[in-house]
Amino acid sequence: MLQDAMFPVKEYPANFAFHRENTGYKFIVREDTGTILSCMTNNYRLVKNVEIMNYANPAIKKNKGVLREVRLFGNGAKTTMTWQFPEQKVRIGPDDEMSPEIIIRNSYDGTIGVNIMAGAFRLVCTNGMVIGVVLDNYKNKHSVYNIELDKLEESIINTIEKTQYMFEDEFPTLIDTKIKEKHIVNFIKMFPIQANTIVTQRLMIDKPKTFWDLFNVGTNVLTHNMNRNTESTHKIENSLYPTIKKWAKTEVAHA
């Protein structure tokens, strides 16, 4: 399955027909089929799936990751690879467990950069929407001026290690620590006034007892009831987990 994404890719300069002067563009060609995947400017930096996997494979194997899915789009112009780490679990309900996942995306047509997303996901849609917990999200454009691409191996290893730490340390703290009334009040204040009714109804239905429960209430409201095209929604998404984690750690410290 992984081998499907490891096809050979090469750059070819886009020259004028009757002389060798370069146009400032280049073709990205899939060599096993001869398919032109894209025509990019010379500022585009090719990062091959094979190159990414040479960095990712050792770290993933070391942490006993299992390849779950490989998806190709546009004859291979875009690739999504997903690994799960089944030996590491967090219990979130009586019959419900989650394991960490790493999703690596890459493109040869400039539509997405090199994207490494780590977390515990309930659903990952083709449009990029995620329902679950995003622990880290590394994004870098395919640009010859982007020196961060030189640190790709370091970024992959750091993302995996951070995810392991979250499952071993942070998630259990949220799951095992009870919330207080003040946390419910502060939680409601995180959302805009016009969302108060929705948030309150969700709290009444779910009756959260722990910080993990409270986090899931927030995730539910954000993914099902908030306008995903507004900046305010994304601000809450970015602050929800860090804020609730901070509350939980404060409670543990004062216990």
Q: Are 244 and 174 in contact (CB under 8 A)?
A: yes
- Residue 164 above 80 pLDDT? no
pLDDT value of residue 127: 47
The whole-number pLDDT of residue 130 equals: 54
- Residue 118 has which token pair? 């780590």
Q: pTM for the whole thing?
A: 0.73
Cα–Cα distance for residue pair 197/209, rounded to 1 Å: 20
Tell me the pLDDT tens digit for each residue of 182-209. Answer: 999 999 999 999 899 999 999 999 999 9
Burial of 180 per CB tally in 10 Å (0-12, 13-18, 19+): exposed
The two structure tokens encoding residue 117: 């997303």
Q: How confident is the model at residue 37 (pLDDT cuts 50, 70, 90)?
A: very high
pLDDT in tens, 205-243: 999 999 988 988 988 888 788 886 778 887 888 788 889
Largest CA distance in the chain: 78
Q: Which residues pair with 140 in a beta bridge?
A: 114
- Given a cut of 80, whether residue 167 has pLDDT beyond it is no
Q: How far apart are CA 205 and CA 203, in angstroms?
A: 5
Residue 64 is given by DSSP the state T
- Dihedral sign computed on CA atoms, order 144, 149, 151, 152: negative
pLDDT at 11: 94
At 40, is the pLDDT very low, low, confident or very high (cuts 50, 70, 90)? very high
Please, what is the average pLDDT of the chain? Answer: 85
Residue 227 CA, distance from chain mean position:
20
Nearest alpha carbon to residue 49 among 131, 108, 90: 108
CA 206-223-119 angle, to 5 degrees, is 95
Query: Can you give the residue ranges of every domain in the chain?
Result: 2-41, 49-163, 177-254
Q: Does the pLDDT of residue 97 top 80, yes or no?
A: no
pLDDT attached to residue 68 = 87
User: How do residues 111-155 score in pLDDT, each as one tens digit?
Assistant: 999 998 887 765 444 444 555 667 777 888 999 999 888 888 888
pLDDT at 18: 60
Pick the CATH number of 49-163 from 3.90.1150, 1.10.10, 3.40.50, 1.10.3680: 3.90.1150
Q: How far is the C-alpha of 158 from the C-alpha of 160, rounded, in Å?
A: 5
Between 48-62, 101-115, 156-170, the lowest mean confidence (pLDDT) is in 156-170
CB neighbourhood size of 162 (10 A): 13
Higher pLDDT, 166 or 58: 58
- What pLDDT does 76 receive? 93
Decide if 100 contacts 83 (C-beta within 8 A).
no
Question: Across-strand partners of 117?
Answer: 103, 137
The pLDDT value recorded for residue 124 is 46
